[in-house]
Every structure is written in C-alpha cells, then in structure tokens.
Amino acid sequence: MVQMKKRTRADKGKRRSHHALVAKTINKCPKCAKPVAPHTACSFCGTYKTKSTVTTKANKAK
C-alpha cells in the first residue's frame, strides 16, 4: 500500500494541537484550607460550598 499524500509539518502540528498536558486545578477548602479539587466535597472536613455535607472520620471523632 502506498501513501497517497505526505502529512506536512503544519498538518501534524494542527492535529496535535489538542494533545498538550494541562495541570490539574486545585482549590483550598474554605473551612480547613486543605487542597480540594473543584466541585467536590472536602475529604478531610466534609464541607462543600461552606455547608457540611459529608460525614467523615474527623467529624465522627468530634
């Protein structure tokens, strides 16, 4: 099988333009200031948007 058209450097670059790695975003918990992924509850204190939502081992001990 023969290659029909050579893929140019520009075509390769355009195809690979979406392959760049992006660093993960990390926010701080408003209550305990531990690092938390956005739109997730804090695994340490169990708060989400300043509301206590999840029961954690730290909360049970108190």
In whole angstroms, give the CA distance from residue 35 to residue 28.
Answer: 5
In whole angstroms, give the CA distance from residue 53 to residue 47.
Answer: 6
Q: How many residues does the chain have?
A: 62
Report residue 18 as tokens. Answer: 């979406």
- pTM assigned to the model: 0.53
Which helix (H) or strand (E) segment holds residue 36: the answer is strand 35-36
* Contacts (Cβ under 8 Å, ≥6 apart) of 42: 29, 31, 32, 34, 36, 48, 54
Give the single-character DSSP code of 18.
Answer: G
pLDDT of 47 above 80: yes
pLDDT of 56 above 70: no
For the stretch 5-32, pLDDT in tens is 999 999 999 999 999 999 999 999 988 8
**What would the mean pLDDT of 22-50 be, rounded to a whole number?**
90
